Amino acid sequence: MKITGAKASVFFDSFDNTAVISGDGTKTTESKQKYFVIDKAEDSNIPVAKGTFFIAPNGAGASQQIILKEGDKLFVINEERFCKTNASFEFSYGSVDVGDDCDPGATISDGILTISGSLAGLFRYDDETQDFDSVTDIIVNRFLDIVEDKGNGQYELFPKSDAQVYLLTLLNSTAKKGQTENWLFVPININSMSMSLGNSDAQNRDLSFTKGEGQAIIYKVPVSE
């Protein structure tokens, strides 16, 4: 079975300290919520390593969820869809020259994983308000201050932000109940953004990124509904 890139869906979220929860021995995860693990208690119940990602169990009852111990710290990921026209990822290791006169030209891996890529999409505006959608705001705010003029003498400034961005790509978005979803999770830094505003073209945005702080993983989970 083979599927096209159109079946992959891309989602974004940006770090916000108001979305961080700290465990106290009574708090639990919420059903099917996505989390980034900032820190773990020594006796933590969190099933994955610090600096990576997981989805809470599919169960509404507290007994079915993960109890967060004191010392656990999670970022609650509330992803927004990035409607792409194209996306690419590159995974690579560097190499170390270990050649000698017995084995000229030999190399070994340096063990350092580098991840980079690009995303392309169109500028999207809210049909009713004509404001940017949430993902566009996240991207633009990486490079430019945003000033919101309320029109009544009130103004709000959103300074440029270098907060961590979390990129989640559902590789097989057409998976049905009982099948497996395959998520590619990468914490990223957005390095560049270009815009094209041709008179006869749709307004578009092209991004390049590299891996940020944290681990990139493939996360497999059954589709529950």
CB atoms within 10 A of CB 168: 19
Distance of alpha carbon 130 from alpha carbon 63, whole angstroms: 44
- Picking from 138, 95, 86, 97, the residue whose alpha carbon sits closest to that of residue 113 is 95
188 found inside a domain: yes
Task: Quote the pLDDT of residue 62.
Answer: 66
Alpha-carbon torsion 66, 67, 69, 75, what sign?
positive
70 found inside a domain: no
Residues of the chain with pLDDT under 70: 61-62, 225
Q: What Cα–Cα distance (Å) separates residue 125 from each residue in 50, 107, 119, 134? A: 36, 50, 18, 9
Q: Which residues span the domain enclosing 124?
A: 5-13+78-222
Distance of alpha carbon 136 from alpha carbon 202, whole angstroms: 15
Alpha-carbon torsion 162, 38, 13, 119, what sign?
positive
Distance of alpha carbon 174 from alpha carbon 180, whole angstroms: 10
Distance of alpha carbon 22 from alpha carbon 74, whole angstroms: 7
Phi and psi at 50, nearest 5°, equal -55, 140
47 found inside a domain: no
112 found inside a domain: yes
| 8 A C-beta contact, residue 114 and residue 210 | yes
* Predicted TM-score of the model (pTM): 0.88
pLDDT tens profile 34-67: 999 999 999 999 999 999 999 999 877 667 899 9
29 found inside a domain: no
93 found inside a domain: yes
For residue 175, give the CATH number of its domain.
2.40.30
Count structural domains, the chain: 1
Task: Quote the pLDDT of residue 163.
Answer: 87
